[in-house]
Amino acid sequence: MTGTIAPDTPPEAPEPQPVPLMRALMPLIMVVAVVGMVVLMFVSGMGRNPMSFMFPLMMVFSTVGMMVSGGAGNKDMAPARKDYQRHLSSIRRAVAKAARMQRESAQFIHPRPGTLWQLGAMGRACERRKGDPDFLQLRIGVATQQPATPVTPPAIPAPEKLDPVSAVALREVIRSARQVEGVPFAIDVSAFEIIALTGDTAAQGLARAMVAQAAALHHPKDCLIAVVGDGWEWLKWTPHHGHPAVTDACGSARLRAATCAQLTELLTAIDTLPAAVLIVLADSSGQLDVTELTPIFDAAGSETSVVLLTVVEAQSTLWEAAVNHGIALVVSTTAVHAETASGREEIGVPDQLSPAEAEVLGRSLARFEVPTSADDSVKTSEDPVMEELGLYPPPTTLRYRPRSGSARLRIPVGADDGGAPVYLDFKESAEGGMGPHGLCVGATGSGKSEFLRTTVVGLAATHSPDQLNFVLVDFKGGATFLGLDQLPHVSAVITNLEQELILVNRMEDALRGEMTRRQEQLRAAGNFAGVSDYEQARRAGQIDAPPMPALLIVVDEFSELLSARPEFAELFVAIGRLGRSLHMHLLLASQRLEEGRLRGLESHLSYRIGLKTFSVAESRSVLGVPDAYHLPAIPGIGYIKSAAAEPVRFRSAYVSGPVVRPQPVDGAAAGAEQGLQGQVAAVAEFTAENWTREAFGASSSDGGMVDPPVQTSEQTVLGAVVAAVSHVPTRAHRVWLPPLPEAIELQSDEQLPRQRLTGVIGLVDKPLFQRQDPLRIDLRTTGGHVAIVGAPRSGKTTAARTAVLALADGISARDLHFYIVDCGAGGLSDLAELPHVASVAHRGDGELIRRTLGFLRREVSRREQLFRTNGWLSSEAARAAGQPDSVLVIDGWGAFKTEFPALSDDVQALVADGLAVGIHVLLTAHRWTDMRPAVRDLIGTRIELRQAESMDSMIDRKAAELVPESPGRGVAPGGFAMLVALTGAADTKRIVETVPHGEQAPKLQLLPRRIDIARLPRPAAAARGAIAVGLEEAGLGAVIFHPDKDRHLLIFGSAGSGRTAALRGIVHQLRYSQSDSKFVVIDYRRGLMEAVPQERLAGYAGSAAVATPMLAELAEVLKARLPQPDITPAQLKARNWWSGPTINVIVDDYDLVAGSRGNPLQPLAEVIAHAADIGLNIFFARRISGALRSLHDPVMGAVKDQGASVFVMDGTRDDGPILGVKPCEQPPGRGYWVAHGQSPQIVQLGWLDTAGDQEDS
C-alpha cells in the first residue's frame, strides 16, 4: 500500500463577536441604578422592610447573568468536535490497516527464517534472479521503520484559528503514525565485501538465517554458497553449494575448502561466475588474512558480488576489516547493532535459525539440480555506444583530434529502443546543446553510478585535457569514480565527504577559487567576456595564453550534500549563473529529489536525466511525467529530457564490464573430468579436511583441474580508456589539492634564501587560492614575539620545538641564542643538544629559571647601553655589527605564572623592552586569556592551534569550530587551516650536524654552591670601607655592603643554613676594610671564638652573665659620643667631636641572646638611632622561626627601622614573609639579599674556609 493518508483540516474556533456599546455600558448603568435605589429606600425609610430589597437583588442577578452568558451569539462547538473525532477515528483505522499491510508485504518479500522450508510447496523456492530488485537482500530481523503510507498533515492557513481540542487530537494521530513496528529489516549484502557477526550463539543463529535466505530464495545459477572450514553440513543438500563444473563420486563436488587458497582454486575453475558468491567462513578466530581472497574479488569484476560472511570475536582482524570496509553486526538475543568507526547503532531484533531448522530447509532444497557451466553462453554483441565512441574495442593508445562545433562536448551515453545512439550535449542552448547544467536522479540499483562513469569515460575518450577537465565529487564513499583519478583530465576527485564534513567547506573554497581564477585569467588576457572569446582569440594567435578547458563538475549524492550543508546551494547557484561564460558545467546526481533542494537552481538546470525513481512524485519533479517510476528494475534504463522536448528513453552503456573483443566466442567452457578412477572410497564425515584434488577427479599426474578458456579480457572498458590516455603529457589544472595530512616533517623554504630569525614551521592550506603555502615565522619586525596557544594535547610543545629548530636551521650559533624554560612534561629537553641553546630549565629548576630571567633582564640593560654607545639606530644595525639575537622560550605559561609569580613581571618587561634590542619571547599557553593584555597585545606572531572552545579563538571563531582533533592542526590568519610540522630527535641531530664544529652559544652559568671569599671581586676604590659579601644570581656580580651607608645587617636562616659562617665571612671582610674598627662579639654557641684577633676584639661574651655588663659599659661609651648641645654644625658635618674606633657589634643566635630572662642588648636600644653619628654597626643573626615576632622587640625593631639590610636564608613558607620576602628552601650560604630601597635578589655569600664550617648554623 502506497500513497498518503490525508486527514481533514480541524474545524475553526468561533470568532469572538464585537460587543455593542450599550451591552458594555449596561452593567455599569445597572450598578448605578441599584445603588441609587438602595440609597433612596434608606433615605425614605423603606429600608426597614426586607421585601424592599427584592427589586435591587433581581437587577443584580440579571446583570450578572448577562455578563456570564455573553449573549446568544457564541457558536456551540460540541457537534463539530464530535464529527471531527469520528473522522479521526477513521484515520486511525486507515493508519492501522496501512501498517498491517506494510508489515505483511515486507514479510511476504522477506519471510521469517523458520518458514523458509515452506516456500517449495508454495512455488516460491529459488525465485529471485539477477536483476530482480530484491536480489541479494537478506533479512536480519525486525525493526521499527518509516510508514510506507505516511499521514500527510492538512494545509492549515492559520493555526491560531483552529479549535484547540481538535488540533491536539490531530497532532496525536500524526505522531502515532510516524513509525511502524515489527517490520522485517533487510540489507543488500552485495554492497558489502565482508559481513562479520559477533555474539556467540545469537550470532550463529543470525548467520544461519541469512545463509538460509540466500539458499531458499535465490536461483543457484545466480548465487553460489561456499564454505571455508568445518561445520555448516546442512548446506550439502542445497544446489547452491555444488560446483557447476567439478563432480565427485556423489555428484557435483561441494564448494568447500580447508583454506582460502583452495577455495580460490575451486572458484576460478568456473567458466563464468554467477551474479553472487556468498563465502561462509567457519573459522571464528577472525585472524584470516583477507588478502587471500583478493584473487576471487579481482576475478569477479563488477558483475559478480563476492560476499564474505563470518562469525568472529570482536576486535579481530576480520572484525576490524568489516567495521572499516563492510558491515559489522553485534548480535544478542534481543537486539542487533551495527558497529562503525563512530560507534554502535541499534537496528532491531535479530532473526534466529536453529541447526535443526536449517537441516529441514536444506533437505527441502535437495530436489533442485546444480546448474552446470554449459547452461548459459557468453554473449558478444556489439555496443552501438562503444562503437560510436571508438571504444569497440578500446585502442591501446588514444590520439585526440580537436572537437569543435557541434561535436564539442557531445557524446553518446546510451541507445534508444531502436538501438540508435542517444546523445548528451553539454554545450549551452545558444550553441545548439542541452546544457550547460543538468540533473540526474535514480533510485538504488537504477544504474546511476554506472551512467556517471560512462559519461566521464565517454568525454575523456573524445576530448583532450586541453578541451575538457573534470571535478568528480562523491558525497558518500568513493566507488562511483573509482579508477577515474588516473585520467589526465581530472582536476580533482573528492570523495567520502559524508565522513569528513570539514572537506565540504574546503571543496566550496576550491570551486569558488576556480571561478575566481578563471575570471582573473580572462581579465588578465584582455578583459574577455567569456571563455569562448578567450579560446577563439587564443586559437587565432591573437593572445599568447594557456588553454582554458571546459570544466565539468559531477556531484553524486548532491541531495545529501545539501542536507548536510544547505548553504552549499549558494555555490551551485553561483556556478549555474556564471558557468555559461566560464565554461563550468554542473551535473548533479542523487538517489532522491527532495522538494525545496533545488530552490534557486531549477532555472539553471536545462537537461534532466531520470532513471528508475522511488516514487511517481520524484519522476514528475525530474521529467514532468511519471514514466521514470514505471521503468523496469533493470540498471541503466532511463529517460533524458532537454528544455521543452519530450523525454527520450535510453539504455546506458556499460564501461565497468570486461572488454569484449569482436571475435566469435564459444558458448561454454569445457568442464573438468567427471567421476573417479578406480574404487570409490568409503563415505566419511563431511568436513573440510576430506577435500583433496583427487576427490574432484584430478590425479596428481594430470596437472589438476582443467582451466576454462578465457572469453574476454580481464581489463574493463574504463581501465582500458585510462590506460589508453596515460601517455598524454598535458595534465589538468589542480583545482583540489590533497587535504593537510596527519603529520608533516620539518622542511626549509628552498624558494627563499635562509635568513636569521625566519623559519618554516608548517603548512597553510588555502583551497580558495588552490595552493598550500609554507607557514613561516619572522621575528625580524613586529612579529618578534611568538605566542603558541592551544587546548591540551593540541601540540603546543611540539610547535614550540619546531619553531626553535626552524629558527636554528642553517643559522650560526654565534648569531642566535635560545634560553628555554620547559614547564611542561619535558618535551624540549633534547634541544639542549643544539649549539644555539644556552640553557634548558625545567619546572623544578627554580634556580636556573631565576638565573635565566635575571640574565636576560641585565642583557636588555647592557644592550641598551651598547646601542647608545655605538649609535645603533635599530636591531638590524646591531645584527650587522655582530650582535646576536636571544630568544626566551617558555613552554607552559600558565604553570610558569603559578610556580614563579614574581618572575612573570620580568617576562612582561622583556616583552615590552626586549624586541628593540634583539631579545625575543616565545610563549605557549592553553588559552589567550592566560596572558595579560599587556603581554598579549605586544605579541606579533600568533600561532593558534585547536582551542578547547571555538569562542576562545582570537583569529576566526567560525574556522576554529572546524579544526580537527589531530595535534598540530590550527587556524592561520585569514581563517585558513594550518598544520605545524612534527619534529623529533632526528631533526635535532640533523641541525646539530650542520653547525660548524666549535660554534656554541655561551652556556648560562649558575651561582656556585660555595664561593671562596678571597675570590670575590674587590669593591671600587671610591667605595671606601665597602666590602664584597657574595655574588648575586642575576648577573653574577659582587654584592657590596657599605658599613658607612648601610650600617646594619640582619641575617635569618634555619639550622644549617650557614648563618654563623656568614657572620664569620663578614667579620673577615670588615677586618681588612676597617683598619681602626673594633669588634664586640656576642657568641653564645662559641661559633665565632677565633673570628676576631685579640688586638681587634673589644669584647667577647659567651653567656648572658658576661654580655650584660659588657654591653651596658658599651652603651655608656656610645652615649658619651652623642653630640652635646655645644657641638657646632661644622663639627657635626665632620663628625670629629669624638675620637675612637668604629664599633661593630656581632651577635650570633640572637634568639638565644634575647631570651626570656632579659635582653643584654637592651641598653643599646637608646643609641641605635644615632649609629651613624657615633660609629656603630650592628650585625645580627638568628633562627628564621619566629623572625616576624622578633622584628618587633625594641632592639631588633630599632635596627630594622634604621634601614638595615636583610639577608633571608633557608626557610619555609610557614615562617612567613620577612620584609616582603617569602622564605624558601636554599642551599647553605644562599638567600635573598634585601638592601634598603632595592628589590630582593638571590645572593651566594662568600665562604671563609676554616675548620668547623660544616657544623656552622
Q: Is 792 annotated as a binding residue?
A: yes
469-491: burial string, b at 16+ Cβ within 10 Å, e else: bbbbbbbbbbebbbbbeebbbbb
Q: Is 1059 annotated as a binding residue?
A: yes
For residues 1257 and 1251, give the distance between their C-alpha atoms in angstroms, rounded to a whole number: 14
The active-site residue, picked from 193, 388, 557, 944, is 557
Q: Is 321 annotated as a binding residue?
A: no
Backbone angles phi, psi at 372, to 5 degrees: -105, 170
Reading the block at residue 305, the C-alpha cell is 558480488
Q: Is 796 annotated as a binding residue?
A: yes
Q: Is 1056 annotated as a binding residue?
A: yes
Q: Is 444 annotated as a binding residue?
A: yes
Q: Do 1107 and 1147 contact (CB within 8 A), yes or no?
A: no
Strand 758-766 with 771-778, pairing: antiparallel
Q: Do 808 and 754 contact (CB within 8 A), yes or no?
A: no
Q: Is 1055 annotated as a binding residue?
A: yes
Q: Is 1060 annotated as a binding residue?
A: yes
Residue type, 326: G
Q: Is 71 annotated as a binding residue?
A: no
Q: Is 449 annotated as a binding residue?
A: yes
**Three-class SS state of 907:** helix
For residues 1086 and 1096, give the distance between their C-alpha atoms in angstroms, rounded to a whole number: 18
For residues 302 and 276, give the distance between their C-alpha atoms in angstroms, rounded to a whole number: 10
- Could you write out the DSSP letters of every residue in 583-599? TEEEEEEES---TTTTT
**Three-class SS state of 620:** helix
For cell 638590524, the residue is 876
Strand 605-611 with 637-642, pairing: antiparallel
For residues 15 and 161, give the distance between their C-alpha atoms in angstroms, rounded to a whole number: 8
For residues 1200 and 1171, give the distance between their C-alpha atoms in angstroms, rounded to a whole number: 12
Q: Is 1009 annotated as a binding residue?
A: no
Q: What distances in angstroms separate CA 732 from CA 491, 556, 596, 1049, one per listed residue?
A: 5, 21, 35, 83
Q: Is 759 annotated as a binding residue?
A: no
CA angle at 626 for the pair 622 and 628, rounded to the nearest 5°: 70
Q: Is 402 annotated as a binding residue?
A: no
Reading the block at residue 1083, the C-alpha cell is 657568641
Residue 964 burial (10 A CB sphere; 0-12, 13-18, 19+): middle
**Closest listed residue to residue 822, CA positions, set 857, 783, 796:** 796
Q: Is 1156 annotated as a binding residue?
A: no
Beta bridge partners of 294: none
For residues 566 and 1163, give the distance between their C-alpha atoms in angstroms, rounded to a whole number: 92
Q: Is 1054 annotated as a binding residue?
A: yes
- Could you write out the DSSP letters of every residue in 545-595? -----EEEEEEETHHHHHHH-GGGHHHHHHHHHHHHHHTEEEEEEES---T
Q: Is 795 annotated as a binding residue?
A: yes
Q: Is 612 annotated as a binding residue?
A: no
**Closest listed residue to residue 303, CA positions, set 714, 667, 882:** 714
For residues 493 and 475, give the distance between their C-alpha atoms in angstroms, rounded to a whole number: 11
For residues 585 and 471, give the distance between their C-alpha atoms in angstroms, rounded to a whole number: 10
Residue 93 burial (10 A CB sphere; 0-12, 13-18, 19+): exposed
Q: Is 443 annotated as a binding residue?
A: yes
Backbone angles phi, psi at 157, to 5 degrees: -65, -40
For residues 411 and 467, give the distance between their C-alpha atoms in angstroms, rounded to a whole number: 14
Q: What distances in angstroms separate CA 324 from CA 317, 339, 1163, one per listed residue?
A: 11, 10, 92
For residues 859 and 865, give the distance between their C-alpha atoms in angstroms, rounded to a whole number: 10
Q: Is 513 annotated as a binding residue?
A: no
In the residue annotation, 557 being an active-site residue is answered as yes
427 dihedral zone (left: phi>0; alpha: psi -120 to 50; beta): beta
Sign of CA dihedral 938, 944, 950, 952: negative
Q: Is 236 annotated as a binding residue?
A: no
| Distance in angstroms between the alpha carbons of the first and the last residue of the chain | 100
For cell 676584639, the residue is 1097
Binding-site members are 442-449, 790-797, 1053-1060
Binding-site members for ATP are 442-449, 790-797, 1053-1060
Q: Tell me the catalytic residues.
A: 557
